[in-house]
Amino acid sequence: MFSYRHAFHAGNHADVLKHTVLIAMLQHLVQKDAALTVLDTHAGAGLYRLDGDYARTSGEAADGVLRLAQADAAALAPALQAYLELVRAFNAGTGVKVYPGSPFIIQHLLRAQDKLKLFELHPSDLRALTRNVAQLEAGRQVAVLHEDGFEGYKKFLPPPSRRAFLLCDPSYELKSDYGRVQDLVADALRRFATGTYAIWHPIIGRPEAHELPRRLKTLATKAGKPWLHATLTVKSAKLGAPLLGASRRPGLPASGMFIINPPYTLKPALQAALPQLSQLLAQDGHAAHQLLVQA
């Protein structure tokens, strides 16, 4: 269960989608004065070097954040401008060598009264996360917890301020993760029905991956809660022709973000951003996007 390292994938197309959505949501949620409690169930290391050995091995950032960063910023949708602006805040000069993971993106947007709970089990990522968070000098605002995020979130719902946002983005390396995500959402809605819940998921040729969004929609609908489902496809899931390297695994072709109780501002933000993402990050003629909403 400890073989997955997000450092290999930092800044890829899935991160671009996930973090664009994350920023757009948090920018709205922090407009209310009441304190917000944010839970990140699979925090990772927090910060990643795109010029490091891990990222260079996969090269995934080249077709993600680095490609987007080369676009004409003035022509980008506001949500994509906000995403790139935040990423650049962690970098000196015009290049992008440091990529902020969800913990640092969240903390960057929080106010003094807000709280952030970070869960991480991987020993190496936990050590890196602890070191990275210490540099923030955020005091008691940020807590790093060596716990299973699928269980640890429970003690924080509902929060004292009655405002909570939970991000769940496991690696899905274990097939059981799909069922655990479903159980987490069902339990979280029972504990705190008015919280905002964001679930990242891969779109791959696996029955569990196909079923998860449908089951999340059923859970939200039965609870009487609005939901939003955004997906981004950058390439075909099939292996390429022999001349294009058919012997290699095709890599992740698509991913999605499923949101329960989304801010009302998220739909228009993604209506503008998703078409640009599918165009700018396309790796072949199968690039596409979809935005489904139930109010």
As a whole number of angstroms, the distance between CA 40 and CA 116 comes to 8
Nearest Cα to Cα of residue 8 among 121, 173, 231 = 173
CB 31 within 8 A of CB 111: no
Q: H or E stretch including 143?
A: strand 142-145
Angle between helices 102-109 and 123-136 (to 10 degrees): 20
Instruction: Count CA atoms within 13 Å of residue 173 on its CB side.
Output: 9
Rounded to whole angstroms, what are the CA distances from 140 to 144, 167, 248?
Answer: 10, 20, 46
For residues 200 and 55, which has the higher predicted lDDT (pLDDT)?
Answer: 200
Beta strands in the chain (DSSP E): 37-40, 47-49, 98-100, 115-119, 142-145, 164-168, 196-203, 227-233, 254-260, 288-294
Q: Which residues contact 41 (CB under 8 A, 6 or more apart)?
A: 119, 149, 150, 152, 153, 166, 167, 168, 169, 170, 184
In 59-203, alpha helices (H):
65-69, 78-88, 102-109, 123-136, 149-152, 176-191
Confidence of residue 56 (pLDDT cuts 50, 70, 90): confident
Average pLDDT over all residues of the chain: 94
Which amino acid makes up residue 289? H
Which of the residue ranges 96-105, 195-204, 246-255 would you say has the lowest mean pLDDT? 246-255
Query: How many other C-beta atoms can be found within 10 angstroms of the C-beta atom of residue 53?
Result: 9
Residue 288 has pLDDT above 80, yes or no: yes
Which residue's entry shows tokens 């790796």?
Answer: 283
Residue-level pLDDT at 3: 59
Whether 177 is catalytic is: no
- Give the pair of three-digit tokens for residue 225: 């809660």
CB 13 within 8 A of CB 63: yes
Q: What is the mean pLDDT of residues 113-123?
A: 97
Residue 242 has pLDDT above 90, yes or no: no
Q: What is the mean pLDDT of residues 136-156?
A: 96
Residue 290 has pLDDT above 80, yes or no: yes
Percentage above 70 pLDDT, the chain: 95
Residue-level pLDDT at 241: 46
Residue-level pLDDT at 171: 94
- Give the pair of three-digit tokens for residue 62: 């080249």
CB 6 within 8 A of CB 188: no
Percentage above 90 pLDDT, the chain: 87
3-state helix, strand, coil in the chain (%, to 5): 45, 20, 35
Residue-level pLDDT at 249: 54
CB 200 within 8 A of CB 216: no
| Catalytic-labelled residue, pool 169, 177, 183, 284 | 169
Residue 20 has pLDDT above 70, yes or no: yes
- Give the pair of three-digit tokens for residue 288: 């596409």
